């Protein structure tokens, strides 16, 4: 079945992918695996290599480009051919004022100039980590209508990038219109996992907070272990007990619904008292607990319905 999308004519360039809400294993655009495509990978770090390998294993023709020749020593080089898909997999540096997206901007300009095969809808797929608003504030404009835009952030771990990109737990993707959705659905259909279609800001935020959630969890376990250790108990045994008993670990879906008021009998009371206790006794984490109280008070004010903590 031919799944090549038509060129840009008639493409709905609405600001969000409203037409693809929620989680679907198949998109409303069918999602049948399409014909093999020609893909170019820009940036040959762990994410670019893993992205290219996963596509090649699914029958797509993949070439690579990197500004550092040594980075692509063992990879098939780009020869300037037209490409259906151009993947931007360059690094996102951390800068003093936040994230530095200059490499993404530069790669996007290169991607926009890659020829699109005649009669098809070409897409730039950004895999680099972005900040919320980046796609709508400058990435879409940077493509100047020459290709569609898909943001498909990478959630893999560096040491396991090849395996995790080949068999991801889930794909999160945002697109700029039906033609891009159609093409990407045909690509995703070759991956055996659910696809979460979001708006651009949703995908940008989910990527950043996936990392921050890991950081928050590690922080909680390190801090709890330090409290036990400060009172002479074994930090590793304490952390293991916490992992076994905690609702947040035992039930992965617990606490994941946004806007849920932070109420009930235990959470606000224990959070407040634990923060005061840490501050008074010099245990670590008082600032974190105070910040949690402030952030959740905001949620409770927006949705003042009591739930059991
Ligand atoms: N490393 C991971 O496991 C991981 C996991 C999830 C997400 N990410 C994100 O994915 C993105 C890529 O990560 P990475 O670790 O593979 O990055 P990396 O920095 O290791 O590799 C990026 C490559 O892109 C090349 N490059 C830079 N500008 C280029 C351009 N204009 N054209 C072509 N090549 C260019 C660099 O020379 C480098 O080889 C980043 O945004 C990162 O935050 C990484």
Tell me, using a 6 A CB cutoff, whether residue 162 lines ligand 1.
no
Residue 8 lies in a domain: no
- 129 & 221 share domain: no
- C-alpha 128 – ligand 1 centre gap (Å): 7
**pLDDT given for residue 261 in this prediction:** 74
- 155 & 64 share domain: yes
The predicted model gives 115-137 an average pLDDT of: 96
Residue 292 lies in a domain: yes
3-state secondary structure of 309: coil
Measured between alpha carbons, how far is 120 from 280 in angstroms, rounded to an integer? 66
Residue 33 lies in a domain: yes
- C-alpha 289 – ligand 1 centre gap (Å): 34
Tell me, using a 6 A CB cutoff, whether residue 103 lines ligand 1.
yes
- 55 & 151 share domain: yes
- 225 & 196 share domain: no
Residue 7 lies in a domain: no
Structural domain count of the chain:
2
- 32 & 163 share domain: yes
CATH (domain of 149) = 3.40.50.720
Q: pTM higher than 0.75, yes or no?
A: yes
- 37 & 169 share domain: yes
Tell me, using a 6 A CB cutoff, whether residue 107 lines ligand 1.
yes
Residue 13 lies in a domain: no
- Looking from the CA of 247 toward its CB, the CA atoms found within 13 Å total 8
The H or E element containing residue 48 is helix 46-57
**pLDDT given for residue 211 in this prediction:** 96
Single out the residue in 200, 219, 242 at which a domain terminates.
200
Q: What is the pLDDT of residues 293-308, one digit of tens each?
A: 999 887 766 655 444 4
Model confidence at 178, pLDDT cuts 50, 70, 90, reads: very high
**pLDDT given for residue 225 in this prediction:** 98
Tell me, using a 6 A CB cutoff, whether residue 251 lines ligand 1.
no
**pLDDT given for residue 262 in this prediction:** 82
Rounded to 10°, the helix 286-302/267-281 angle is: 150
- C-alpha 44 – ligand 1 centre gap (Å): 7
**pLDDT given for residue 303 in this prediction:** 57
Query: Cβ contacts of residue 160 below 8 Å, gap of 6+?
Result: none
Token couple for 53: 């390998």
Tell me, using a 6 A CB cutoff, whether residue 111 lines ligand 1.
no
Residue 68 lies in a domain: yes
- 35 & 66 share domain: yes
Residue 11 lies in a domain: no
What is the chain's alpha carbon radius of gyration, rounded to the nearest angstrom? 23
- C-alpha 51 – ligand 1 centre gap (Å): 11
- 137 & 276 share domain: no
Single out the residue in 178, 200, 222 at which a domain terminates.
200
Q: What is the pLDDT of residues 252-303, one digit of tens each?
A: 999 999 887 787 888 899 999 999 999 999 999 999 999 999 998 877 666 5
Measured between alpha carbons, how far is 147 from 156 in angstroms, rounded to an integer? 26
Tell me, using a 6 A CB cutoff, whether residue 43 lines ligand 1.
yes
- C-alpha 200 – ligand 1 centre gap (Å): 20
Residue 307 lies in a domain: no
- 36 & 160 share domain: yes
* Mean pLDDT, the chain, whole residue set: 88
Tell me, using a 6 A CB cutoff, whether residue 129 lines ligand 1.
yes
Single out the residue in 141, 165, 200 at which a domain terminates.
200
Tell me, using a 6 A CB cutoff, whether residue 154 lines ligand 1.
yes
- C-alpha 233 – ligand 1 centre gap (Å): 42
- 38 & 125 share domain: yes
**pLDDT given for residue 97 in this prediction:** 87
| Residue 265 structural domain | 205-302
């Amino acid at each position: 079945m031919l799944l090549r999308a038509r060129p840009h004519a008639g493409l709905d360039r609405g600001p969000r992918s409203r037409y693809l809400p929620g989680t679907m294993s198949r998109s409303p655009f069918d999602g049948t695996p399409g014909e093999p495509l020609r893909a170019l990978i820009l940036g040959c770090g762990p994410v670019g290599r893993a992205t290219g390998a996963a596509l090649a294993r699914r029958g797509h023709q993949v070439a690579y480009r990197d500004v550092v020749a040594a980075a692509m020593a063992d990879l098939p080089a780009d020869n300037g051919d037209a490409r259906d898909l151009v993947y931007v997999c360059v690094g996102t540096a951390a800068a003093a004022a936040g994230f530095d997206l200059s490499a993404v901007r530069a790669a996007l300009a290169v991607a926009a100039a890659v020829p699109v095969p005649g009669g098809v809808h070409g897409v730039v797929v950004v895999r680099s980590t972005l900040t919320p608003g980046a796609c709508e504030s400058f990435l879409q404009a940077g493509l100047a209508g020459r290709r569609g835009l898909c943001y498909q952030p990478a959630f893999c771990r560096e040491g396991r990038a090849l395996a995790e990109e080949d068999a991801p737990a889930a794909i999160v993707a945002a697109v700029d219109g039906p033609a891009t959705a159609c093409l990407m659905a045909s690509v995703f259909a070759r991956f055996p996992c659910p696809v979460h279609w979001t708006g651009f800001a949703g995908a940008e935020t989910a990527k950043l907070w996936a990392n921050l959630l890991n950081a928050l969890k590690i922080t909680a376990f390190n801090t709890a272990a330090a409290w036990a250790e400060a009172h002479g108990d074994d930090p590793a045994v304490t952390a293991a007990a916490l992992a076994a008993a905690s609702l947040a670990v035992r039930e992965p879906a617990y606490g994941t619904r946004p806007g849920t008021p932070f109420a009930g009998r235990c959470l606000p009371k224990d959070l407040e008292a634990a923060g005061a206790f840490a501050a008074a006794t010099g245990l670590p984490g008082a600032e974190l607990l105070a910040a949690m109280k402030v952030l959740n008070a905001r949620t409770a004010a927006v949705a003042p319905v009591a739930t059991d903590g």
